[in-house]
Amino acid sequence: MNITTALITGASTGIGKELATIHASKGGNLIIVARNESKLNKLKQELEQKYNVKVVIIIKDLSDLNAPQEIYNEVKQLGINIDYLINNAGFGALGKFHEIELARQISMINLNITSLTALTHLFLPEFVQRNNGKILNTSSTASFMPGPLQAVYFATKAYVTFFSNALSEELHNTNITVTNLMPGATESEFGAISGMDKTVQRNA
């Protein structure tokens, strides 16, 4: 039996946690990445006990531009080959662009765009060399529309969608897939943290 290993960022809550659970339920091993050590440890214990898989945790803040390389180095030191790269970590903010603190918005770009791009660039050459691997990038239906009061968040998701689509085309003659996960509004901690759970639809 071929046991696959998935690396999932933003795995401590929400969509990332559910993706980790799905992968473990199919007998796959995991490297789960997030900032919250206690939540990752709890998830590791739950998945290992329930599904008899191996789960490694890496504590990183992916808004730190050094984090992708540090994650890659740690994976290499562990001697683990990644079969599925799931770039799920992300956050949003609610408010008028000029009123939201610039540092928060730059941090959002670093997390939602730069770290996703860097991790993909680090792991993809190995996928190409093996001619095997899957990349799943968590984008959003937000990537197809303007996002007043969430301008930078919507823009970052547009990047993810079109970046993934382009990579998929570049790799069309290989056994590597690049897929966008395109959720709409989702009940998770993301909404509460970003303030997007307070948004309402305005009729034109």
Three-state SS at 34: strand
How far apart CA 57 and CA 89 sit, in angstroms, is 15
Three-state SS at 35: coil
Closest CA to 143 of 130, 160, 131, 129: 160
Name the DSSP class of 204.
-
Q: What angle do CA 9, 124, 11 make, to 5 degrees?
A: 10
Closest CA to 6 of 126, 135, 114, 122: 135
- Which residues have CB under 8 Å from 6's CB, separation 6+? 19, 20, 23, 28, 29, 30, 31, 82, 83, 84, 85, 86
Considering 51, 72, 84, 153, which one is annotated as catalytic?
A: 153
| Beta bridge mates, 179 | 136
72 carries an active-site annotation: no
How far apart CA 136 and CA 140 sit, in angstroms, is 12
Q: Give the residue numbers annotated as catalytic, written as ranges.
A: 153
